[in-house]
Structure 1
Amino acid sequence: MKKITTLLTAIIGMALMNQVSATHVTVEVPTAGQLNSLIQDANCDSITISGNLNGNDFRFIQNNMPNLIYLNIAKVIIPDNKIPSSGLQSKTTLQQIILPDNVETIGEYAFDRCSNLKKVTFPKTLTTILTQAFSECALSGELKLPTITTHIGELAFDYNQITKAVLPDSLKTIGSEAFRGCQLLQEVVFPEKLTTIGQYAFYDCIRLHTGTLKSKTPPEIFNQTFNYTKTFYVPEGSGDVYSKSPNWSNLIVINGNTPRKVTVTLTAAGTLGEEILKQVDYVTDVNELVINGPLNDDDFYQIKQRTTHLISIDMTGATIESLPESFFYERAALLDIKLPATLKSIGRYAFYRCYGLTQITIPEGVTSIKDHSFEQCLSLKEIKLPTSLTEIQEYAFQDCKSLENIEFPANVTNISPGTFYNCTALQRVKFPANLNNISHYAFYQCSVLEKANLSEGLINIDYNAFYQCIYNHRTTKTNQKYPSVNL
């Protein structure tokens, strides 16, 4: 047994070594431009280079080292302390690089479309990152730039997998589209010396719901600098300045770190607006609202049209049975919603494009969720459905691209057309025992769906119900009744 354990340990160790590097090479280049004549194995996947490099050497690495995964050039000297423009552009094998210790500038397109580049070690000397330096790479996790970096160029980090950007206090400009399409980005603190954030700089950053600014002077932004980010925390005392500045006036600006919270208890429906105004000067001053008591159409109007700066609403104690159609339509700034305990139905398009909503609990007593209710709630990761639910109408959760799991209550017997259409993060579905029909496009393009246990009572699976899903397990019953279904 001991020999077997030792053998297994050795095999695992060798496998891990092979995963890190099959062939590592160390090369010293005394004179720039001579790398091609000094390297012994251009097919290596890992290399450490010291000495001097120029544009010719970068072109050699780019074009003549087809297997390169890891590149360490920490001890390299390059002309003008600048990574050459297009230096390693489209080097798709590269996964990790350690940049020269004294580099000051990363040139245009230097690592553009290095589509597997996950990790970069930046030197303390770096001041400037030019246009498309890391465009369409695979940089992931936290991006931490050196403390003296002053400029991030256009498209510098667009379409990467960064979750957090740590920007140095020295930073002055962020170029147009610099972080565009970074759909995993969730946290950014904008430094005090920042003067400009370019057009589309954080466009399509669907999970960046809020931002924090250190400067009391608003940096210049443009009408499309942000599209999914609606709420910004600014230093105490600077809220008015931001709110009156071009393009900032269209966003929710919270003065200091504490949102303005108002709690109201209504004794009569139709009095919400006047009760709020007993505590604040303007209804738009409210960021967090707690409502107790009866509501009517006048109150619905206040919530839909007047409380435009809400980031949180708690209606647990409110008395209504039906959430009106389009009630929270395109309220992208809302991060937290608690629904009334008395609720029976949720209207169509009720939460349409509530981009900031990450989780929600549907209260017990709700029997119906109407069509398109949660469509394009792109950050909705978790939803709890009540046991009372009997109906989910068509396309109710279409394009909920963060939703990972769903469990249907026992009383749901039909899954309507397109209910989870294009829910690309959905991995697991638990169907009720009484389910008898799955309609067309119900799980269309749920591309990572890996587990779905079908019930014995299932009568029909309509066309394209599971189109482009990766789930391939079929129960015996499914094989017998639906041999052509692509699950």
Structure 2
Amino acid sequence: MGDDPFAGCKDISIDNRSPFFINEGGVLFDKDRRFLIHYTASLSGERYEIPETVEWIGKHSFYKCENLKCVRISKNVKFMGNNAFSDCFNIHLENESPYFAYEGGVLYNKEKTTCMHYSMGSGVKDVKLADTVRTIGRNCFWNCYMIDSIEIPKSVRQIGYNPFANCRNVHLINHSPFYDIKDGVLYNSDFTELVCCPSTASMNGTVTIPDTVINIGRNAFTGCIGLKRLVIPGSVKYISRGAFSECSNLEDIEIPATIEDIGDWCFNKCSSLRQVAIPSNIDVKPNTFNSCGAEVIRK
């Protein structure tokens, strides 16, 4: 069984008859209880202590567990999949594993070189990342709407695809020489990639993209509910997957003829978008306009 196949299934009841898995009170493990695969979101308990047999917490394993307020990471946990605690809006972590570090509401690897997850239940609204961090992992602040600011230290060299998506109140403070901020929008240092546009940077209805930008990053504008109109400059060649997903008030976007690729889910849930003109050479992927309804015009 791969990444949690039951993630987001809030009311599911797992009837396990396989000798290779164990279901204990709505929590699914492998037969040796070393791999925690899935914690059922509808469970009413507010605290969960991960068994000391567990070495691996799976990807999305606690996804949308809104009743949980505290999870204790036991001392033998060595590995953790991406987004293990994503959309757990009330959760606070207690870490006993020597393979991880937890401070200021942020979960790191033990060397504190990788930022893995922010716990919304920690109550920390102004996040200052450790000055040892080199990598901010993908989606680690996803949907953390209650954060006011995140301070990126000068040690950061890599930021995974938009870890700040749907952080609707956040202001980014950057000290890294590998990135830069202009008008509240995060770019790489030479302004060839737009990494992230927080919602706060789009509240006037539009964003001016520099004509040096070649790539609009994955989920770069996700959740920018203030964005209404956008003109993409002719320098841009690539619009990555999910770049404008959940921009529910986006009404008008101009895409230049220079575009070479538009990622899938790019306009997912852009419910106000009625028409989009796309160069005729671009292959429109099946999910590019999922839950959007916009008319696609070839030019």
Residues 1:191 and 2:106 are matched in the alignment: no
* Match of residue 131, structure 1, among 21, 27, 34: 34
Q: Work out the CA distance in 2 between the residues paired with 1:247 and 1:151.
A: 31
Q: Trace 1:32-51 onto structure 2 (pairs within 5 A).
A: none
Q: Work out the CA distance in 2 between the residues paired with 1:232 and 1:367.
A: 37
Contact 1:158 1:177 in 2 (8 A): no
Shift of 1:131: 0.9
Q: Work out the CA distance in 1 between the residues paired with 2:212 and 2:280.
A: 15
Shift of 1:310: 5.1
Q: Work out the CA distance in 1 between the residues paired with 2:228 and 2:210.
A: 8
Residues 1:404 and 2:293 are matched in the alignment: no
Residues 1:244 and 2:145 are matched in the alignment: no
What amino acid is the match of 1:404? N
Equivalenced residue count is: 251
What amino acid is the match of 1:131? R
**Gap change, CA 1:308 and 1:189, over 3 Å in 2:** farther
Superposed CA offset, 1:202-232 (max 9, x none): xxxxxxxxxxx8x537554266774xx6x77
Q: Work out the CA distance in 1 between the residues paired with 2:196 and 2:255.
A: 30
Shift of 1:305: 7.1
Residues 1:371 and 2:260 are matched in the alignment: yes
**Gap change, CA 1:325 and 1:220, over 3 Å in 2:** closer
What amino acid is the match of 1:329? G
**SS of the residue aligned with 2:277?**
coil
Superposed CA offset, 1:91-129 (max 9, x none): 7xx9x8758xxxxxx99734x8xxxxxxxxxxxxxxxxx
Contact 1:161 1:185 in 2 (8 A): yes
* Match of residue 147, structure 1, among 40, 44, 47: 47
Q: Trace 1:327-366 onto structure 2 (pairs within 5 A).
A: 328-330=216-218, 335-336=223-224, 341=229, 343=231, 347-350=236-239, 352-353=240-241, 357-359=245-247, 362-364=250-252, 366=254
Superposed CA offset, 1:122-166 (max 9, x none): xxxxxxxx412x53x6x6544555636254723355576943365
Unaligned 5+ segments in structure 2 are 1-13, 151-170
Q: Trace 1:307-322 onto structure 2 (pairs within 5 A).
A: 311-312=198-199, 313-314=201-202, 316-317=205-206
Q: Work out the CA distance in 2 between the residues paired with 1:306 and 1:390.
A: 21
Shift of 1:372: 1.9
Q: Work out the CA distance in 1 between the residues paired with 2:46 and 2:172.
A: 44
**Gap change, CA 1:191 and 1:309, over 3 Å in 2:** same
Q: Trace 1:270-281 onto structure 2 (pairs within 5 A).
A: none
Q: Work out the CA distance in 1 between the residues paired with 2:119 and 2:62.
A: 22
The match for 1:35 is none
Superposed CA offset, 1:10-53 (max 9, x none): xxxxxxxxxxxxxxxxxxxxxxxxxxxxxxxxxxxxxxxxxxxx
**SS of the residue aligned with 2:261?**
coil
Shift of 1:358: 3.2
Q: Trace 1:465-476 onto structure 2 (pairs within 5 A).
A: none
Contact 1:217 1:238 in 2 (8 A): no
What amino acid is the match of 2:297? V
Contact 2:64 2:88 in 1 (8 A): yes
Residues 1:171 and 2:57 are matched in the alignment: no
Q: Work out the CA distance in 2 between the residues paired with 1:90 and 1:143.
A: 23
What amino acid is the match of 1:109? D
The match for 1:426 is none
* Match of residue 275, structure 2, among 355, 367, 387: 387
Q: Work out the CA distance in 2 between the residues paired with 1:98 and 1:237.
A: 34
Contact 2:269 2:290 in 1 (8 A): yes
The match for 1:221 is 109
Shift of 1:394: 2.0
Residues 1:325 and 2:214 are matched in the alignment: yes
Contact 1:163 1:187 in 2 (8 A): yes
What amino acid is the match of 2:74? T
**Gap change, CA 1:217 and 1:164, over 3 Å in 2:** closer
Residue identity (%): 6
Tell me which of the two structures has the higher relative contact order, counting C-alpha pairs closer than 8 angstroms and 6 or more residues apart: 2
Normalized per residue, the structure richer in strand is 2
Q: Work out the CA distance in 1 between the residues paired with 2:195 and 2:230.
A: 25
Contact 1:343 1:363 in 2 (8 A): no
Q: Work out the CA distance in 2 between the residues paired with 1:320 and 1:217.
A: 33
What amino acid is the match of 2:30? Y
Contact 2:254 2:276 in 1 (8 A): yes
What amino acid is the match of 1:164? C
**SS of the residue aligned with 1:171?**
strand
What is the TM-score when the length of structure 1 is the normalising length?
Answer: 0.36
Shift of 1:171: 1.1
Normalized per residue, the structure richer in helix is 1
What amino acid is the match of 2:277? L
Structure with higher Rg: it is 1
